[in-house]
Amino acid sequence: MNISKIFLFIFLFSICKNLQAQDTTFLSMLNDSVAAHAKTTYVTGTFKGNHIVNMQTVESPAKGAMYFLIMHRFGALNSGAYNLFGLDNATLRLGFDYGITDLLSVGVGRTSLDKAFDGYIKYKFLRQTDGSNKNPVTADLLLGISNYTQRYPDKPYLDASYRTVYNAQLLVARKFNKFSLQIVPTFLHYNLVPTAQDANNIFALGLGGRIKLTNRMSITSEYTYLPPNQVVSMTVYNSLSFAWEIETGGHVFQLVFSNSQGMTEPYYITRTNGSWANGDIYFGFNISRNFNITKHAKLK
Amino acid sequence: MKKILLLIFICQVFLTVHSQVYLTRTGFIGFYSKTPFEDIRAENNQVYAAIDTRNKDIAFVLLMKGFVFTKELMQEHFNENYAETDKFPKANFIGKFSGNADFSKDGVYPVTVNGNLTIHGISHNIQIPATLQMKAGKLTGHAQFYIKPEEFNIRIPSIVRNKIEEKMNIIVDISCTPK
């Protein structure tokens, strides 16, 4: 009789358990399954576009996508009413960036300043993972080349090689929810520098960031520290820039304030001749438009 | 008395083990929008679904980041701006289905599914027609319905409003095997 009581108890208990095992447990069973089979996913959207302001970001166009980027800087704000506070003068860079794969991209551009052409190749070799801290950062290697074609009839010796600058950058970025931070150790090589005291090989350290204000609006900023005694024959400053970034559909629009007039690595890192303290501020904008050149092959 | 109880108990254990639950981890849910300006096609092939044929329970869980779009930029905008998938990583549904169905036999059974759909942290009760089909021990389910993003607090800016349909066309296809 004792044993049958125990059985009765177990029987009732198991019925209760069965009745309970519905609704919420049913859902939590699925949730447990999702958690158990979780795959590594990667953080996306560390930055909205390809540029913080002048500095490249770890982002790149997706496979088969192309960005058309217009970067535009007016003259310095302190150039007076005669020049309409810089609006009479403008520098422009037109660029195309194309994603060969989701991780590898190339780009070309031309800047009106010095009539310079530039090209780069960028490879994302590390991607920040979601949730788990397997990869805490996203990292890219960026290799670039720049060649200016401004004619100097008095300097016939300036051949293509003398006009070329190379740059190599390691872009390391992390997204902290609404805030993203990027550190960029930079190396530049000038084939020709103005005087013997100027260094051909130049090191610099860039720092960039973004704060999302809303889902489609953010403030970005970047600062590049150029250690002294590398560019000595001219007065140069560290580049400091801010942008107000707005995204609508396939466009990224940035309103820019910077003490750099140049927009590619050799120019903004080593040739920033404006100073914020003196009011040499260049106002301008970056407009990026995304085009899908090939159909994304992810879906069958 | 003892024997009867033991028998019932064993039956009970047996029933628990074989509590007719059908599961999948590779279910399909897609959503579609078609306007003259933009076609949106997003598909998720990693939908977790469970159907209990005895209690008529049905549940779905999916990771929002699992939606793959035809355009990478759309996918980024979906995750970053619309569904905010860092904040709301999952969508789920829990409910019951009603309708005459005899799952001991192969056949197609039209049912009505009623329950709570949670997307973007917002829950709504929905009632949709669906079909369940039992075939060779496999239970497949199919449903098609519409939802409005705004009902789930997913705001669509006016500048892109004419590129996205008012209602998203949702298609569900699952093929579950016994647990």
Structural domains present in chain B: 20-178 (2.40.128.110)
pLDDT class of A10 with cuts at 50, 70, 90: low
Backbone angles phi, psi at B14, to 5 degrees: -60, -45
- Taking each helix axis from N to C end, the angle separating A2-20 and B2-17, rounded to the nearest 10 degrees, works out to 30
- Partners of A7 on chain B (C-beta within 8 Å) are 2, 5-6, 9
**Interval B5-49: pLDDT, tens:** 666 666 555 554 456 899 999 999 999 999 998 899 999 999 999
- Partners of A10 on chain B (C-beta within 8 Å) are 9
Interface touch A215/B94, C-beta < 8 Å: no
> For residues B83 and B74, is the Cβ–Cβ distance under 8 A?
no
In this complex, the residue of B23, B73, B86 whose CB is nearest that of residue A290 is: B73
In this complex, the residue of B57, B73, B159 whose CB is nearest that of residue A23 is: B57
pLDDT of res. B15: 52
CA-nearest of B109, B114, B105 to B131 is B109
Domain segments of chain A as ranges: 2-36, 65-292
pLDDT of res. B5: 63
> For residues A144 and A264, is the Cβ–Cβ distance under 8 A?
yes
- Which of the residues A17, A20, A27 would you substitute to probe the B interface, choosing the one with the greatest number of B C-beta atoms within 10 Å? A27
CA distances from A169 to A128, A133, A137, A271 (A): 18, 24, 16, 17
**Interval B49-74: pLDDT, tens:** 999 999 899 999 999 999 999 888 89
**Interval B68-110: pLDDT, tens:** 998 888 999 999 999 999 899 999 999 999 988 888 889 999 9
Please give the span between the terminal C-alpha atoms of chain A, in angstroms, as a whole number.
66
> For residues A282 and A260, is the Cβ–Cβ distance under 8 A?
yes
- Partners of A130 on chain B (C-beta within 8 Å) are 65
> For residues B89 and B67, is the Cβ–Cβ distance under 8 A?
no
pLDDT class of A129 with cuts at 50, 70, 90: very high
- Partners of A30 on chain B (C-beta within 8 Å) are 48-50, 59-61, 92
- Which of the residues A4, A16, A25, A30 would you substitute to probe the B interface, choosing the one with the greatest number of B C-beta atoms within 10 Å? A30
pLDDT of res. A297: 42
pLDDT of res. A293: 80
**Interval A163-177: pLDDT, tens:** 999 999 999 999 998
Classify domain A65-292 at the CATH class level.
Answer: mainly beta
> For residues B78 and B66, is the Cβ–Cβ distance under 8 A?
no
pLDDT class of A8 with cuts at 50, 70, 90: low
Q: Is this complex scored with an ipTM above 0.85?
A: no
Which range is least confidently modeled, A103-107, A152-156, B44-48?
A: A152-156
Q: Where are the alpha helices (DSSP H) in A1-53?
A: 2-20, 23-36
pLDDT class of A17 with cuts at 50, 70, 90: low
Could you count the other beta carbons within 10 Å of the beta carbon of residue A35? 9
Interface touch A31/B61, C-beta < 8 Å: yes
In this complex, the residue of A15, A45, A63 whose CB is nearest that of residue B80 is: A45
Determine the residue of chain B that is closest to A294 in CA distance. Answer: B71
Which range is least confidently modeled, A77-81, A205-209, B18-22?
A: B18-22
Backbone angles phi, psi at B43, to 5 degrees: -135, 140
**Over pLDDT 70: what percentage of chain A?**
90
pLDDT of res. B92: 94
> For residues A254 and A283, is the Cβ–Cβ distance under 8 A?
no
CA-nearest of B15, B3, B10 to A3 is B3
- Partners of B73 on chain A (C-beta within 8 Å) are 62, 65, 250, 290, 292
